[in-house]
Structures are given as C-alpha cells and as structure tokens.
Amino acid sequence: MTSRLDYKPAVLLSTPALVAIMPFLAACLYVLRFSFSADESSIAGFSVSSYQALADTYFLSALGLTLKLAVFSTVLVLVLAVPLAFLLATTRSPFLRRMLTVAILLPMILNLLIQAYGWIILLGPTGVLNTVLRSTGLITRPLFLLFNETGVLIGLVQTALPLAVFPILSATRAVSRECLEAAASLGAGHWRTLFDITLPVLRPGLIGAASIVFAFNASAFAIPLLLGGRRVQMLGVVIRDMISPMFNWSSAAAAGVVLIAITTLALVLASWATNRSAKKEVR
Amino acid sequence: MMRVGLIPDEKGGTYRLAMLALSCLGLLIAALPVVIVVIMSFAGSNRPSFPPSSYSLRWYGDVLHMLTTADANGGQSVARALQTSLLVAFAVMVISAAVCVPLSYAMARGPARLRQTLEILFTLPLVFPLVMLGIAFLLMAEGMKLDLGLWRLIIPHVTLVLPFVMRNCQSAMAGIDPEVEEAARSLGAPPWRGFLNVVVPMMRPGILAGLIFALIISFNEFTITFFMYTIDVNTLPIWMYSRTVSSLDPSVLALSVFIILADSALIILTDKIVAGKASLF
C-alpha cells in the first residue's frame, strides 16, 4: 500500500490537462505546416517559397532591428535587475519587501496598454519629461523619445524587468555570507567582491534571466505596436502586417517559425552554457 | 551593522551608492508609467499636460456614466466588454485550476520520466511568442471556419495561463508528504477520498494563488485577444485600444486606475496567500 502512482493512473489524471493544451500543440503544427504551403492564403501543396521570400531586405532589416533591440534591452535589464534583486534580498522589513515586490511585479501583471499610455504621457513631445527639461532650461527643443527606437527600448526594458529580477533573486540564495565575509577579511573591496565572487556565483541565474528576457523581447508585439508608432518594425509587428493588410498568411507563418527558432535557440544556448559552466566547476 | 553583504548597510562607499542608485532607477522605470497614469486621471483639462493645471473627478464620472448607460452602438459598449472580460477570465480560472490539480498530483506521485515530459510540455506556452500564438489560433479558427463564441478567447487564454497555474499547484504538492494519504487509506478511505479530502485541502494556498494568477493574466491579456476578437466578442483591453487609437482619451486613464487598483489588490492577496513559502514565479 503506497501512494506512488503507476503510468496508467498518472496519465489518466493528466488527461484533462493534456486536452486543455491540445489546441496549443495543434496551433504549433498548423503554423509549421502553413509555412510550407505552396499557396499564400490556404494550406495546399509543399513549397519552401515562403521561406525564400523572406530573404528580401524588408524582412532582413526587421530581423536585424529585432535582434539589436533585444540585445540592448537584455543588457540594460540585467544592469538594473541585479541591484534590484540585491535590494530585495537585503530588505529586512516584510512590509517594505512586499511593497517592493508589488512595484517590481506591476509591469508584468498590468495590462500593457496602461503602461504604454503612461510612457506616451511621459515621453511625448509635450510630455512630462520634455516639459520638465525645458522649464529647467536644459534643452531648448523637445527630445524625440517616442515613436522611435528609444521609446520602444524603454518600454522593452520596463516590461521585461520583473522577468529578470525574480530568477536573479532566487540565485542570490547561493551567495553565502561566509564567502562574502571571507572575501572582506582578505581585504577585497565591495567592487572586487562583486566581480570576483558574487557575479560568478550568480552566473547560472544571470544566464537564465538573460535568455528569458532576450526571448521575451525578441518576440515583443504590444510594445513596438503602441510605442513604436508604426516606425519601429520589429518582427512581431512585421508578421502582423503580413497577416492583416497583406493577407500573405504562408509568409507570416514562415516568419513566425523563424521567430520561434530564434527564441528557442536563445533558451537552448543558455541551458547549454549553464550546464557547461556547472561541469567545469565539478572538474 | 552588516559590513558585508549584497548591499552593505554602511561604509559601502561608491559600491553602495551605485547599487542604490541603480535600484532606484529600476523602480522608477518599473512604476513611473503607472504613477503618471494615476496622476493624469485626476487632471481637469481635456488635453493632457503635466503637472495638471486643475484637478477633478470628471473622468471618473465619465467612466461610471459609460458603465451604467447602454451605448447606442452595442458592439463597442464598455459594459459589454467588461462583462466579456470577466466571463472569459472566470472560465479560464475554473478550467485551468480543474485540470492542473489532478495534473500536479500525477506529476508528484507518478513516475519520474512522466513528470519530466509533462514539465517540458506544460512550460512550452511560456516560451512561445505571444504574437505567434495569436496568429496561429486565428489561422486555425478561420481556416476551419469554426464558430466558437466566447471559446474563441477562452481556449487560447487557458493555454497562456497553464504554465503559471501548473507551477503554483506543483509547488503546493511538493510540501505534501505521501504519508498523509497512507494514513487516510489505513483508516479505510479509498484513494479518491484520500485525494479529495486530504490532499486537495492541503493544496489550497497553491490552488488559490494559481486561480488568482489565471484571473489576472486573462483579464489583462492584450496580444492574443488583439488577433482573436470579433465585433461580438471583445474584452476591456481591446475596447481601451479601439478608444485610443487616434488620441489619448482621459476617461480611459480613469478606467485604467480601476484596473490598477484591482490588479494590485490581487497581487498583494496572492503574495499573502503564498506567504513567503513559495515564489510567485
């Protein structure tokens, strides 16, 4: 008499969940199949022409822009997320910690539209930031921070920040106080300790966080749509335009497969890098 | 007191200063848009300028008026969009919890190989680009000419929340010793009673956290719904988007404040339920 389950009852108990996820799996296969369709607007025959059509400059420049913004935003997010995770880890008061958690989680939980409205009011030509800077005399002409790459980059950093803070926070548990004290007693300064001890210990968490942020931002849609104002053609927006004004469904599917391949590759590379550094430590 | 640590309490010099400055910048970037939306919702003038020249509650009055009076063009009414949002979110919440509780039990007690497979399978939607999910579901629904009604949104939203609900239920299961069921069984309870009367009540905090998460995610979802909505089935975020495509309508800001309050209350509630025993993600 044990509480272990055999294969049969375990599969039976998972069946409702498997049924619930079935449409997702069907959708994945549908997109893959559509990308190889010979016809643009329906599934018919086999052809790689949709992939060949992607080799034009329009798609390639969108791909380049997407990779650039995803890399920049990942670097910026990590620079901000590490101190925030440290702050959360060292905050003693439960109330303060709860407030910090809510503030950091907000961008992840809240309707993306509301956040975009906030940025539009803040960064617009007659927005808060420009008004403040002009009234202090720092600038004479308004800065263009919205409906260009700068605006999208700021939005990407904001929405992806919680995705990085929480994995790094759980990674900080591996940083022992004894180790930090030992470093201090040997005369290492705070910066030296950060770069020689803390960050190397955090490396698996950092790699994981970076890959999630990269994958998330490479496939961003709402932020470039709302803050890019049609001028910042990231892949998500380009794919949507293939569907809606252009009705080229098979190319949209092919571009989507490329996007999925990029995000998957980032995650696979990250887990490979983590495993490799773990093996190195054992040796 | 503490001279060493991730952020030292004193004598940290430039290190402490830099860490705190970056933290403040991070918090500012995370919260500033939300704070600005709240402040501007109280502005008195039609055109948003900062700081507002006068303060009033007129936009809140507008929202209440919109919510209580039937709009002439029914398809665009905010009350109907809110109703659809809540219906979809409620269905998503119930379905995802109902399928994830037995799933997490099977994962905790079943063979290890099965658990690993299920874990990968139910984390997949998390790494799948949202825009592609929206497009795939749209192509499928259009290609097969399905008339799904509300299920147009419920089915993709369930996909989206499954990883979160699964993880919450899983971490709730992790703390439950198989011995409690064995005790129930040795007292004569059949296995299903041991599960329903002993395990499920013990999982309650995890299930509740999962339910609230499903509610928040579905209620705020924009990208997938952007592809799947129809004139008859559209949610509050889509209504807000259609209202502000050309210019920012201040009454939408007042509506946003209601959503911000509801979301913040729900996060704090989840955080309390989980009570430091598990992380939210």
Residues of A in contact with B263 (CB under 8 A): 106, 109-111
List the 126-145 stretch of B: residues with Cβ below 8 A of A: 127-140, 143
| Token representation of residue A254 | 């092919």
Instruction: Please check whether residue A150 touches B, CB under 8 A.
Output: no
Pick from A20, A82, A104: which is nearest to B99 by CB? Answer: A20
Measured in whole angstroms, how far is the alpha carbon of residue A242 from the centre of its chain? 23
pLDDT of residue A213: 94
Q: Which residue has the tokens 């919680």?
A: A162
CA distance A141 to A135: 11
List the 246-265 stretch of A: residues with Cβ below 8 A of B: 249, 252-253, 256, 259-260, 263-264
Instruction: Please check whether residue B222 touches A, CB under 8 A.
Output: yes
pLDDT of residue A68: 97
Pick from B31, B37, B137: which is nearest to A27 by CB? Answer: B137
A–B CB contacts, 8 A cutoff, strictly below? 305
pLDDT of residue A237: 92
Q: Lowest-pLDDT range, A263-267, B122-126, B143-147?
A: B143-147
Contact A222 B49 (CB under 8 A): no
Q: In this model, does residue B280 exceed pLDDT 80?
A: no
pLDDT of residue B73: 53
Amino acid at A47: S
Q: What is the pLDDT of residues B235-269, one digit of tens each?
A: 999 999 888 877 777 888 899 999 999 988 888 88
CA distance B50 to chain A (A): 5
Contact B30 A111 (CB under 8 A): no
Instruction: Please check whether residue A120 touches B, CB under 8 A.
Output: yes
Work out the mean pLDDT of chain B and round it to a whole number. 85
CA distance A276 to A269: 10
Pick from B6, B128, B222: which is nearest to A86 by CB? Answer: B6
Q: Work out the angle at residue A185's Cα, subtended by the Cα atoms of residues A182 and A188, and round it to the nearest 5 degrees.
A: 90
Using DSSP's 3-state secondary structure scheme, residue B187 falls into coil
Which helix H or strand E contains A21, and what residues bound it? helix A7-35
Instruction: Please check whether residue A29 touches B, CB under 8 A.
Output: no
Instruction: Please check whether residue B190 touches A, CB under 8 A.
Output: no
Rg (CA), chain B: 23
CA distance A79 to B228: 37
Residues of B in contact with A5 (CB under 8 A): 106, 109-111
Burial class (CB in 10 A: 0-12, 13-18, 19+), A274: middle
Global pTM reads 0.88
pLDDT of residue A158: 95
pLDDT digits (tens), chain A, 283 positions? 455 788 888 899 999 999 999 999 999 999 999 999 888 777 888 888 889 888 888 899 999 999 999 999 999 999 999 999 999 988 888 888 888 888 888 888 888 889 998 998 888 887 888 888 888 888 888 888 888 999 999 999 999 999 999 889 988 888 877 888 888 888 778 888 888 888 888 888 899 999 999 999 999 999 999 998 888 999 999 999 888 877 888 889 999 999 999 998 998 898 888 888 777 765 5
Q: A2 vs A6, A8, A169, B171, B181, CA distance in Å? A: 11, 15, 37, 21, 9
pLDDT of residue A26: 92
CA distance B65 to A145: 35
Pick from A83, A170, A256: which is nearest to B19 by CB? Answer: A83
pLDDT of residue A281: 65
pLDDT of residue B74: 47
- Cβ neighbors of B163 (< 8 A, separation 6 or more) are B122, B123, B124, B125, B126
Contact A10 B106 (CB under 8 A): yes
Q: What is the pLDDT of residues B193-209, one digit of tens each?
A: 888 888 888 888 889 98
Pick from B16, B26, B220: which is nearest to A81 by CB? Answer: B26
Residues of B in contact with A209 (CB under 8 A): none
Q: What ipTM was reported for this prediction?
A: 0.86
